[in-house]
């Protein structure tokens, strides 16, 4: 409701600017006129001498007052600098100065109307300047300047008032109440300054709510061209102002605190001013004193015979030192602001701007018409089509509204925009020289915050890289878009390759590199598209899953899909999670083997485990130490930390906890030396019996019963043949090979395909593919097939790493497990492990059936044999075999 009222108020003020301005000025004049009928003529200054209290003026007071004035002037200067950064050096500056002046005038008029003396006004003026805050006026001006028509100006001012009005009202109330406490201090000068400060805050609020928005609306209306009816200037950098300001809404907690504080201050003022009133006797005595000294308190002219202009001129010539310092600083900053500030971002009102010429307009139209070709520009032209702040600031007419096709990364049916590397609106091109400029000039352009890399050609950027001014690995961060950084790196690399055109077929465009930088890859030169197939539906635990598989091996997805079909016809598969604990195994060394044994005994004691667990658990809200497995080899201790890690795969999380636990262990045993936070006792990305026996990550098991009819009709074999092949291949054959965890047909195939599709670490398929596949006959006639897969070390996660990339997130969404589980932390990662285990079950079933039926070679010759790049050798039968 309050927002709606401010919106209506803003709409009214913007729609009737003349009425509001005239009404405000009329009210000001009336209040000045009414001052003539009051009983107090004590207006000090303006060639009037007022009664002064006998107060000794110290030099320290003069110094403090001078410093305060200088601070106020510098503060106003920085306020105007902030206005200039909005893109207008003069227009908003004049508006801000007019706001300050009108606030000051209105404050003075209010004090006149309230019959208050103005003695000490020169001391209160710096205090008034420090109270001026143009941020709200700037924000409201940005709302207005983001408009293309007068109607839009009115609606945007109304919208800005709805957003800014309630906050500014509450801030003004709090400021008045806080400053008003000073009026009860008993110190005369402080009371005068605080009284004037309260009036100034009120006047500033009144001007902001009425006078300023009306002036902004009127200025924009008067600055429209007579022919086209459009604003003479257009600030394109304000295109997103509405979203930015709405995102900056005040914190509700802060607002509540301000309201509570305001109520408390109101009670303080009420108690001080109305409840504890001075006694009537004191009032009588004071009245009598005033009446007795009436003649002494009457204001007198300082120079009765001197004209007003001559009086002021003489006073200006005979200024004190502090006045000279203050005035000199003000003039110096004014000259610096007007003549020496950079003017590249200035929005000028001049109609002689070159952009308004027909030739320039034609060039803009050509640029807009050629936008489609611009999206397909070469490496060298990448810098030429980039929009800069200088270009947008030079546009003095709104360009035709033309929808620019954004660069898109397409994955399935979803479209992901890469808006970071595209201009928000059509704009003139940056004209770059044909020949590279000197390195020093290029470096100065790069370091210029208002220019930057978009003002440099690719050749100039490469020269800066070769001169070590730009680190090659930081190209994505320094360029105006990460994609251009990748393109330049490709140019630099191409000349160093045996075949300079090697990268031609490696794509790099239309990819969101912001999700890659600092997370997934460095020195990026592109990306490799991998075909993604789907196997399913996989019926697992009563749910259907369409499993994405990224692979270049023919037959893999088709074979797994056949296994899923057989499982579904048999009633589905079941799975369970047996354990959930990621591991990290550091190696530490002690002076002697006996001391190492003592540390081992302490770690295995309840007291030692509790101490280490407390240190470990404090490093994360998810990591919880479950178990320590300790091995000893001479003076070395190998400590295997096991912990749950939520929905993350958890290597970074558990490494952090391990490091903290080792620090605590060193405090207990100072002679202990940490050799490495990873001592291969984890074990990560290497075949290891400890993972096969103890497990790592998620330990899962899945099983299914396939009826004999399905075995015959779908798998084209028999239960007896499957059991026989499984025993002699997966069990005996793997034992003969000395395999560790490899008692399966091809679990790594399925694990790697799912890992690549779902953003997992492909290297962890080494340990994750540990699996034992068992088959046996079951059922009333022992013709049905019972198959199970046990996988003790599936290392997966649904947050972090490659799961942040959009295509990989799409594959996780297919399974319904993207991101972290809100209801049960870690459940999404466990569900992914169950899907991996169930899909491995399907793949094992289909491949073993193909082996038992003798179909493996035939199917691979049909689906998994490349017809490309086959060399014809004499005496071969390549064509016949194909």
Categorize the per-residue pLDDT at 309 as very low, low, confident or very high, splitting at 50, 70 and 90: low
Q: Does the pLDDT value for residue 157 go beyond 60?
A: yes
Structure tokens at 27: 């009210």
* Predicted confidence (pLDDT) per residue in 47-73, tens digit: 445 554 445 555 666 676 677 667 767
Q: Does the pLDDT value for residue 270 go beyond 80?
A: no
Q: What confidence score (pLDDT) does residue 8 get?
A: 83
The answer to whether 843 and 563 are in contact (CB under 8 A) is yes
Higher per-residue pLDDT: 26 or 880: 26
The answer to whether 588 and 662 are in contact (CB under 8 A) is yes
Higher per-residue pLDDT: 641 or 269: 641
3-state helix, strand, coil in the chain (%, to 5): 55, 10, 35
Q: What confidence score (pLDDT) does residue 790 get?
A: 98
Is the CA virtual torsion 609, 613, 614, 616 positive or negative?
positive
Cα Rg for the chain, rounded, in angstroms? Answer: 40
Cβ neighbors of 363 (< 8 A, separation 6 or more) are 428
What φ, ψ does residue 705 adopt, rounded to 5°?
-115, 125
Residue 823 DSSP code = S
DSSP 486-543: HHHHHHHHHTTSSSTTGGGGS--SS--GGGTTTTT-SS--------EEEEEEEEETTE
Quick one: average pLDDT of 776-796? 96
Position of tokens 């022992």?
Answer: 782
Average pLDDT score, the chain = 75
800-818 burial: b if 16+ Cβ within 10 Å, else e: bbbbbbebbbbbbebbebb
- What H or E segment, with its residue span, contains residue 300? strand 300-301
Strand partners, 415: 410
Cβ neighbors of 401 (< 8 A, separation 6 or more) are none
What HEC string does 186-221 produce?
CCHHHHHHHHHHHHHHHHHHHHHHHHHHHHHHHHHH
CA-closest candidate to residue 795, choices 617, 586, 579: 579
The answer to whether 657 and 831 are in contact (CB under 8 A) is no
Q: What confidence score (pLDDT) does residue 433 get?
A: 84
Categorize the per-residue pLDDT at 104 as very low, low, confident or very high, splitting at 50, 70 and 90: low
Categorize the per-residue pLDDT at 144 as very low, low, confident or very high, splitting at 50, 70 and 90: confident
Structure tokens at 831: 């569900």
CA distance 724 to 717: 12
CA distance 712 to 799: 42
Quick check: helix, strand or coil at residue 628?
strand
The answer to whether 838 and 576 are in contact (CB under 8 A) is no
CA distance 69 to 50: 23
> What is the percentage of the chain residues whose pLDDT exceeds 70?
61
Q: What confidence score (pLDDT) does residue 412 get?
A: 41
If one counts every other C-beta atom within 10 angstroms of the C-beta of residue 17, the result is 22
Angle between helices 606-617 and 651-668 (to 10 degrees): 130
Higher per-residue pLDDT: 98 or 155: 155
| End-to-end C-alpha distance for the chain, whole angstroms | 77
* Predicted confidence (pLDDT) per residue in 489-518, tens digit: 999 999 999 998 999 999 999 999 988 988
Quick one: average pLDDT of 274-291? 45
User: Would you give the distance in Å from CA 296 to the centre of its chain?
Assistant: 68
Categorize the per-residue pLDDT at 3 as very low, low, confident or very high, splitting at 50, 70 and 90: confident
Residues acting as catalytic residues: 553, 685, 761, 860
What φ, ψ does residue 412 adopt, rounded to 5°?
65, -130
* Predicted confidence (pLDDT) per residue in 841-874, tens digit: 999 999 999 999 887 776 666 666 555 554 444 4
Q: Does the pLDDT value for residue 738 go beyond 90?
A: yes
Structure tokens at 810: 């799409």
- What H or E segment, with its residue span, contains residue 605? none
Let me know the angle formed at the C-alpha of 384 by 381 and 385, rounded to the nearest 5 degrees: 100
If one counts every other C-beta atom within 10 angstroms of the C-beta of residue 492, the result is 16
CA-closest candidate to residue 771, choices 795, 793, 797: 793
Angle between helices 135-145 and 91-113 (to 10 degrees): 130
Q: What confidence score (pLDDT) does residue 96 get?
A: 58
Q: Does the pLDDT value for residue 478 go beyond 60?
A: yes
């Amino acid at each position: 409701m309050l927002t709606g009222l401010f919106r209506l108020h803003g709409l009214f003020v913007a729609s009737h600017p003349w009425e509001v301005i005239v009404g405000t000025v009329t009210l000001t004049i009336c209040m000045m006129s009414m001052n003539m009928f009051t009983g107090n003529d004590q207006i000090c200054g303006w060639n009037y001498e007022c009664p002064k209290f006998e107060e000794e003026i110290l030099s320290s007071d003069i110094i403090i007052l001078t410093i305060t004035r200088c601070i106020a002037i510098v503060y106003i200067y920085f306020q105007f600098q902030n206005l200039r950064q909005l893109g207008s050096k003069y227009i908003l500056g004049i508006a801000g100065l007019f706001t300050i002046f009108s606030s000051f005038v209105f404050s003075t008029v209010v004090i006149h109307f309230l019959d208050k003396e103005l003695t000490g006004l020169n001391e209160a003026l710096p205090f008034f300047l420090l109270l001026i805050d143009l941020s709200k006026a700037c924000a409201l001006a940005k709302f207005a300047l983001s408009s293309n028509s007068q109607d839009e100006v009115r609606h945007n001012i109304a919208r800005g008032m709805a957003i800014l009005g309630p906050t500014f009202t509450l801030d003004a109330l709090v400021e008045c109440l806080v400053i008003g406490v000073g009026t009860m201090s008993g110190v005369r000068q402080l009371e005068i300054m605080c009284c004037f400060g309260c009036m100034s805050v009120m006047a500033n609020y009144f001007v902001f709510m009425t006078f300023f928005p009306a002036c902004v609306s009127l200025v924009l209306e008067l600055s429209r061209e007579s022919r086209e009816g459009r604003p003479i200037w257009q600030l394109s950098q304000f295109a997103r102002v509405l979203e930015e300001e709405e995102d900056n809404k005040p914190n509700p907690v802060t607002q509540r605190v301000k309201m509570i504080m305001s109520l408390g201050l109101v009670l303080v003022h009420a108690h001080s001013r109305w409840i504890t009133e001075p006694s009537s006797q004191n009032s009588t005595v004071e009245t009598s004193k005033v009446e007795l000294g009436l003649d002494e308190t009457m204001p007198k002219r300082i120079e009765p015979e001197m004209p007003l202009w001559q009086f002021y001129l003489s006073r200006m010539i005979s200024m004190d030192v502090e006045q000279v310092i203050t005035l000199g600083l003000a003039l110096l900053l004014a000259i610096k602001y007007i003549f020496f500030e950079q003017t590249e971002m200035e929005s000028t009102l001049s109609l002689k701007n070159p952009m308004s010429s027909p030739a320039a307009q034609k060039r803009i139209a050509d640029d807009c018409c050629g936008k489609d070709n611009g999206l397909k520009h070469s490496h060298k032209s990448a810098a030429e089509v980039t929009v800069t702040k200088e270009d947008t600031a030079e546009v003095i007419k709104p360009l035709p509204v033309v929808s620019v096709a954004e660069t898109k990364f397409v994955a399935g049916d979803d479209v992901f925009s890469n808006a970071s590397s595209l201009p928000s609106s059509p704009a003139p091109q940056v004209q770059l020289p044909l020949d590279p400029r000197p390195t020093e000039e290029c470096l100065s352009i790069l370091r210029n915050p208002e220019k930057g890399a978009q003002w440099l050609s690719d050749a100039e950027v490469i020269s800066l890289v070769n001169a070590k001014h730009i680190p090659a690995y930081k190209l994505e961060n320094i360029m105006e878009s990460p994609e251009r950084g990748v393109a330049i790196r490709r140019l630099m690399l191409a000349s160093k390759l045996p075949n300079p055109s090697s990268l031609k077929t490696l794509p790099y465009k239309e990819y969101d590199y912001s999700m890659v930088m600092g997370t997934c890859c460095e020195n990026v030169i592109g990306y490799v598209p991998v075909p993604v197939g789907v196997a399913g539906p996989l019926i697992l635990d009563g749910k259907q899953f369409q499993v994405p598989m990224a692979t270049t091996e023919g037959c893999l997805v088709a074979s797994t899909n056949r296994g899923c079909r057989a499982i579904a016809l048999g009633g589905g598969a079941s799975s369970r999670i047996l354990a959930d604990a990621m591991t990290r195994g550091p190696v530490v060394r002690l002076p002697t083997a006996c001391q190492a044994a003592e540390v081992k005994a302490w770690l295995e004691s309840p007291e030692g485990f509790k101490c280490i667990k407390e240190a470990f658990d404090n490093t994360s809200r998810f990591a919880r130490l479950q178990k320590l497995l300790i091995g000893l080899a001479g003076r070395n201790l190998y400590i295997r930390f096991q912990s749950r890690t939520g929905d993350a795969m958890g290597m970074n999380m558990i490494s952090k906890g391990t490091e903290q636990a080792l620090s605590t262990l060193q405090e207990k045993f100072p002679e202990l030396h940490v050799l490495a936070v990873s001592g291969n006792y984890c074990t990560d990305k290497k075949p290891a019996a400890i993972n096969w026996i103890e497990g790592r990550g998620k330990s899962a098991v899945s099983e299914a019963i396939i009826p004999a009819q399905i075995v015959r009709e779908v798998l084209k074999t028999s239960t007896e043949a499957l059991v026989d092949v499984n025993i002699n291949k997966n069990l005996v054959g793997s034992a003969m090979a000395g395999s560790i965890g490899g008692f399966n047909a091809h679990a790594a195939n399925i694990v790697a395909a799912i890992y690549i599709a779902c953003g997992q670490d492909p290297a962890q398929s080494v340990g994750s593919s540990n699996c034992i596949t068992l088959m046996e006959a079951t059922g009333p006639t022992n013709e049905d097939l019972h198959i199970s897969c046990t996988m003790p070390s599936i290392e997966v996660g649904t947050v972090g790493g490659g799961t942040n990339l959009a295509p990989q997130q799409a594959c996780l969404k297919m399974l319904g497990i993207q991101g972290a589980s809100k209801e049960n932390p870690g459940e999404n990662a466990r569900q992914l492990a169950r899907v991996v285990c169930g899909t491995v079950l399907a793949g094992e079933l289909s491949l073993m059936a193909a082996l038992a039926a003798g179909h493996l070679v035939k199917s691979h010759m049909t689906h998994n044999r490349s017809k490309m790049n086959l060399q014809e050798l004499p005496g071969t039968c390549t064509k016949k075999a194909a």
